[in-house]
Amino acid sequence: MKFLRHAAAGAAMLLAASAGQVWAGATFDAVKARGVVHCGVNTGLFGFSAPDDKGNWTGLDVDLCRGVAAALFGNAAKVKFVPLTAQQRFTALQSGEIDILSRNTTWTTQRDTELGLNFAGVMYYDGQGFLVPKKLGVKSAKELNGATVCVLPGTTTELNLADYFRANKMTFKPVVIEKNEELAAAFFSGRCDVITSDASQLASIRAAQASNPGDFVILPEIISKEPLGPVVRHGDDQWFDLVKWTVYAMLEAEEKDITSKNIDTMSGSADPTVKRLLGLTPGAGKALGVDEKWAYNVVKQVGNYGESFDRNVGMASKLKLDRGLNQLWIKGGLMYAMPIR
Amino acid sequence: MTIPQPALPASVATAWWNNAAVRGVFYQVAVLAGVIGLGWYLVSNTLDNLATRGIAAGFGFLGREAGFGIGESLLAYSPADTYARAVAVGLLNTLIVSVLGIAFATVLGTVIGIARLSSNWLIARLSTIYVEGVRNIPVLLQLFLWYSLITEALPGPRQAFNPVSGIFLSNRGFKFPVPVWENAHTIAAAAFVAGCLAAVLIHRWAKRRQDLTGQPFPSVWAGTAAIVGMPFIAFLAAGAPTAMSVPELKGFNFVGGGLISPEFAALWFGLTVYTASFIAEIVRSGIQAVSHGQTEAAQALSLTRGLVLRLVVLPQAMRVIIPPLTSQYLNLTKNSSLAVAIGYPDLVSIANTAINQTGQAIEGIAIIMAAYLTVSLSIAAFMNWYNKKMALVTR
């Protein structure tokens, strides 16, 4: 077995060569010295990460990366976005091509351990659903026996799909295409009866790519838990901490009603939590190894979680997704920031 | 033969480090050590990096349950099968599309290549347009074109074209009736193999008899009779079962019958059409490489046109054709990995999925590389054997 491992390792000499250089220093120091965060995003998922009509990357996943840049450099613009397919994403992170993977990626045991990665929180609690044309007349996912299903390869979605059909003693025929756009095009041309993905993605595909979004319906069954969050690789806990607390800062700001618009008027607040968040009571910044105004910069330049949600996927966007599970814990959702102190 | 060296006077005897033989050995050893050292450095560096990142290495994942579905497979496959089986399904899919692509590209390419030499103005021009148009457009774009033609232009399964009862053409592919496999079919298949063997033996015997006695034997007809007749008779003798599996629309899709999926069709057409344009040029150059004097000389011997082509022109043209043709076969096989773009579950597509689900990128890439290397070397070995067989034998 040792020989086989050597043989396999030898076969990927290029990987080794490129890996050697990026592992020279800890990620945190490397990013700081470089002056720009390399952020892996989706090749085009409207609402989460997609270039707008001016070519600027926008979306919920994109905002997290901008937030990290704001916390580290005090400038949310210091991000280089690297669009990745589902199949490329982990290799890109492992090899050091990117520093954060913020690409609607589901948190699973295997990814968290065997792949050598750490999930730094959850940006969106999602679940897998099915999108079908209304004219198919299907009311429930249980009626999908024998269907041809469009699905992205190399995703948890692909595995959940097989599990769900097996559990319900149904058969299906997968059509797997690597790129989101090509896959959606195959679905809308009628190559598949149904396309499956995280429900938020289905809403995104329907809003952005259907000629008439009203002709398509998302079936009521949600067949999986898909907590989507930013990912970093093992080996640098300081970097892991920074990404994690950037997520919490965005949540905590929403909980305390601090927005990008009113943040400058909050400096007179008597609330000790607000004062710690804005860096008026120092401590958290030093602990993270960044400026004390880190959270201020995140909220001022990117916005709190609620603002980002509304703007990208919520009621102020084309997707019109309900907050649902992604509401703050005080309003009945699952979004809960650890105390910043 | 050694020529005795005149003994050199001691004063001009070269030092050992100036000895050409010693230097030769030294440089070879140095280069070898350098290559091995570099290889060892890269391998150990990779293993170190994998360990640093806590990524598990090894091929153990192949025995685990794959858990994902595959759209089309010749082997029985379900998501409960192992990664090893999934990879085998992918390899088989790659082989099928390569073999069919090579076969059809050769036929189409030969026809187009000969057509370019036609004295008919229209046929020659159309062939030229085909060759210049097709070979100058990237094959990936052509695959996208074929795939979108098939999925966009054809109707859904419920409105499928149904030209003959049992045959359906829709954006789910081409469905056709197939016989239900029974013992009789296995016997017929065995008889077919036996027929092919018999044809070869008949041909050899006929050739030897003609060489010895000058008496010709219609070995082509006899061979064809053996290849077609033997399975036919065996099939009848085994009871000639006529049960057919006919596709019918049930729920979302057709059930039963055989299927050529849109992904397979797009890849197959795309690779065939693209490679045929190169093969056409190779065939044309091969034929033009044979001097026209050869044809005239053969005609002067009052050989028929067919015999001139078969005995004089083609054997000489083949010597020019085979080496570049081998390259095209290898290209087609390797281009089949573009399947990933249009969703045909070939080796690369499935291995990529396995890499993503398990994170075993290095092992996965090693499997892909080993598989392509094996397939390509096999094709090259076969073509080299064929080339040697066709090479001009000097007497």
DSSP letter for each residue of B250-301: ETTEEESSEEE-HHHHHHHHHHHHHHHHHHHHHHHHHHHTS-HHHHHHHHHT
Residue B149 CB: number of other CB atoms within 10 A?
14
Q: At residue A299, what is the residue type? A: V
CA distance B154 to chain A (A): 9
The answer as to whether A309 is a domain residue is yes
B window 52-91, beta carbon within 8 A of A: 52-59, 67-71, 78-80
Chain B contact for A272 (CB, 8 A cutoff): no
- Burial class of residue A330 in the structure, from the number of CB atoms within 10 Å of its CB (0-12 exposed, 13-18 middle, 19+ buried): exposed
Chain A contact for B244 (CB, 8 A cutoff): no
Output the CA–CA distances (angstroms, integers) from residue B363 to A6, A8, A220, B240, in the order listed.
Answer: 10, 5, 40, 49
Rounded mean pLDDT of A10-38?
65
Q: At residue A250, what is the residue type? A: M
| Confidence check: pLDDT of A42 > 90 | yes
Do B373 and B301 meet the contact criterion of CB atoms below 8 Å apart?
Answer: no
- Report the share of chain B in percent with pLDDT over 90: 45
Q: What is the DSSP letter of B167?
A: -
Chains A and B form CB pairs within 8 A to the count of 177
Q: Which of A37-51, A172-186, B39-53, B132-146 has the lowest mean pLDDT?
A: B39-53
Chain B contact for A170 (CB, 8 A cutoff): no
Q: Which of A12-26, A274-288, B143-157, B190-204 has the lowest mean pLDDT?
A: A12-26
Q: Which of A18-32, A44-58, A161-175, B250-264 has the lowest mean pLDDT?
A: A18-32
The answer as to whether A145 is a domain residue is yes
Chain B contact for A191 (CB, 8 A cutoff): yes
Tokens of B188: 């017929």
Last residue of a domain, one of A224, A253, A271: A224
pLDDT attached to residue A137: 87
Cα B68 from Cα B353, distance rounded (Å): 9
Rounded mean pLDDT of B13-33?
88
Burial string for A256-269 (b: 16+ CB within 10 Å, else e) reads bebbbeebeebeee
| Confidence check: pLDDT of A17 > 60 | no
Identify the bridge partners of residue A172 per DSSP, sorted by sequence position.
A147
Cα A295 from Cα A302, distance rounded (Å): 10
Instruction: Please measure the distance between the N-terminal and C-terminal CA atoms of chain B and give it in whole angstroms.
Output: 30
Q: What CATH number is attached to the domain comprising A306?
A: 3.40.190.10
Per-residue model confidence as pLDDT tens digits over B170-217: 888 888 888 888 888 888 889 999 999 999 999 899 888 888 888 888
Q: Are residues A132 and A210 in the same domain?
A: yes
B window 19-58, beta carbon within 8 A of A: 39, 42-43, 45-47, 49-50, 52-58
The answer as to whether A19 is a domain residue is no
Instruction: Determine the residue of chain A that is closest to B51 in CA distance.
Output: A116
Residue with tokens 């016997």: B187
Chain B contact for A155 (CB, 8 A cutoff): yes
Q: What is the DSSP letter of B53?
A: T
Cα A94 from Cα A334, distance rounded (Å): 29
Torsion of CA B281, B282, B284, B286, to 10 degrees: 160
Q: Are residues A210 and A231 in the same domain?
A: no
B362 and A8 within 8 Å at the Cβ level: the answer is yes
Interface test with B, best of A4, A97, A105, A189 (most B CBs within 10 A): A189
B311 — pLDDT class (breaks 50, 70, 90): confident
Which residue range is the domain that position A273 belongs to? 25-125+227-331
Residues near A3 by beta carbon (within 8 Å), at least 6 away in sequence:
none
Q: Are residues A80 and A53 in the same domain?
A: yes
Kindly give the pairing relationship between strand A37-42 and strand A100-106.
parallel
- A1, A5, A16: residue with CB nearest B42: A16
Q: What is the DSSP letter of B175?
A: E
Cα A30 from Cα A242, distance rounded (Å): 14
DSSP assignment of B95-157: HHHHHHHHHHHHHHHHHHHHHHT-S-HHHHHHHHHHHHHHHTS-HHHHHHHHHHHHHHHSPPG
- Report the share of chain A in percent with pLDDT over 90: 68
Average pLDDT, chain B: 88
Rounded mean pLDDT of B364-369?
93
Q: What phi and psi values does residue A202 have, to the nearest 5 degrees? A: -60, -45
Instruction: Please measure the distance between the N-terminal and C-terminal CA atoms of chain A and give it in whole angstroms.
Output: 49
pLDDT attached to residue B16: 83
- B69, B250, B253: residue with CB nearest A174: B69
Q: Are residues A320 and A232 in the same domain?
A: yes
B window 283-322, beta carbon within 8 A of A: none
- B43, B71, B365: residue with CB nearest A175: B71
Identify the bridge partners of residue A106 per DSSP, sorted by sequence position.
A228
Rounded mean pLDDT of B242-255?
81
Full-model pTM:
0.78
Q: Are residues A296 and A166 in the same domain?
A: no
Residues near A196 by beta carbon (within 8 Å), at least 6 away in sequence:
A128, A129, A130, A131, A149, A150, A151, A157, A161, A202
Q: Which of A218-222, A249-253, B90-94 has the lowest mean pLDDT?
A: A218-222
Cα A267 from Cα A275, distance rounded (Å): 7
| Confidence check: pLDDT of A11 > 80 | no
Q: What is the DSSP letter of B249?
A: E
Nearest to A230 by CA among A156, A337, A119, A312: A119
CA distance B5 to chain A (A): 48
Q: Are residues A87 and A181 in the same domain?
A: no
Last residue of a domain, one of A224, A247, A279: A224
Chain B contact for A189 (CB, 8 A cutoff): yes
Chain B contact for A161 (CB, 8 A cutoff): yes
A190 and B151 within 8 Å at the Cβ level: the answer is yes
Q: Are residues A269 and A326 in the same domain?
A: yes
Cα B270 from Cα B273, distance rounded (Å): 5
Nearest to A102 by CA among A230, A14, A206: A230
Rounded mean pLDDT of B56-63?
83
Last residue of a domain, one of A224, A255, A280: A224
pLDDT attached to residue A312: 94
Q: Give the count of domains, chain A.
A: 2
Q: Are residues A152 and A177 in the same domain?
A: yes
Interface test with B, best of A2, A5, A193 (most B CBs within 10 A): A5
Residue with tokens 């599996």: B245
Rounded mean pLDDT of B24-30?
92
B window 329-388, beta carbon within 8 A of A: 340-343, 345, 349, 352-353, 355-359, 361-363, 365-366, 369-370
The answer as to whether A340 is a domain residue is no
Residue A341 CB: number of other CB atoms within 10 A?
11
Q: Are residues A206 and A87 in the same domain?
A: no
A98 — pLDDT class (breaks 50, 70, 90): very high
pLDDT attached to residue B220: 83
| Confidence check: pLDDT of B13 > 80 | no
Tokens of B74: 């010749």
List domains and CATH numbers for chain B: 83-153+265-390 (1.10.3720.10)
Per-residue model confidence as pLDDT tens digits over B320-337: 999 999 999 999 999 999
pLDDT attached to residue B8: 56
- Burial class of residue A57 in the structure, from the number of CB atoms within 10 Å of its CB (0-12 exposed, 13-18 middle, 19+ buried): buried
Interface test with B, best of A18, A173, A236, A237 (most B CBs within 10 A): A173
The answer as to whether A2 is a domain residue is no
Do A288 and A277 meet the contact criterion of CB atoms below 8 Å apart?
Answer: no
Residue A143 CB: number of other CB atoms within 10 A?
16
> What's the sign of the alpha-carbon dihedral A259, A261, A266, A267?
positive
| Confidence check: pLDDT of B357 > 90 | no
Average pLDDT, chain A: 89
Burial string for B242-266 (b: 16+ CB within 10 Å, else e) reads eeebbbeeeebbbebbebebbbbbb
B69 and A162 within 8 Å at the Cβ level: the answer is yes
Q: Are residues A180 and A324 in the same domain?
A: no
pLDDT attached to residue B390: 82
- Report the share of chain A in percent with pLDDT over 70: 93
Q: Are residues A237 and A248 in the same domain?
A: yes
Q: At residue A73, what is the residue type? A: F
Cα A161 from Cα A198, distance rounded (Å): 11
Per-residue model confidence as pLDDT tens digits over A238-270: 999 999 999 999 999 999 999 999 999 988 889
Q: What is the 3-state secondary structure (H, E, C) of chain A?
A: CHHHHHHHHHHCHHHHHHHHHHCCCCHHHHHHHHCCEEEEEECCECCCEEECCCCCEECHHHHHHHHHHHHHHCCCCCEEEEEECCCCHHHHHHCCCCCEEEEEEECCHHHHHCCCEEECCCCEEECEEEEEEHHHCCCCHHHCCCEEEEECCCCHHHHHHHHHHHHCCCCEEEEECCCHHHHHHHHHCCCCCEEEEEHHHHHHHHHHHCCCHHHEEECCCCCCCEEEEEEEECCCHHHHHHHHHHHHHHHHHHHCCCCCCCHHHHHHCCCHHHHHHCCCCCCHHHHHCCCCCHHHHHHHHCCCHHHHHHHHCCCCCCCCCCCHHHCEHHHCCCECCCCCC
Q: Are residues A94 and A136 in the same domain?
A: no
Cα B218 from Cα B26, distance rounded (Å): 64
A6 — pLDDT class (breaks 50, 70, 90): low
A8 and B252 within 8 Å at the Cβ level: the answer is no
The answer as to whether A341 is a domain residue is no
Chain B contact for A178 (CB, 8 A cutoff): yes
The answer as to whether A12 is a domain residue is no
Output the CA–CA distances (angstroms, integers) from residue B318 to A129, B204, B240, B298, B330, in the order listed.
Answer: 58, 21, 42, 17, 18
CA-based angle A6:A12:A14, to the nearest 5?
135
Cα A91 from Cα B233, distance rounded (Å): 58
Residue with tokens 């003959």: B164
Residue with tokens 């002056």: A35
The answer as to whether A15 is a domain residue is no
Tokens of A49: 């990460």
Burial string for B152-186 (b: 16+ CB within 10 Å, else e) reads eebebbeebeeeeebbbbbbbbbbbbeeeeeebee
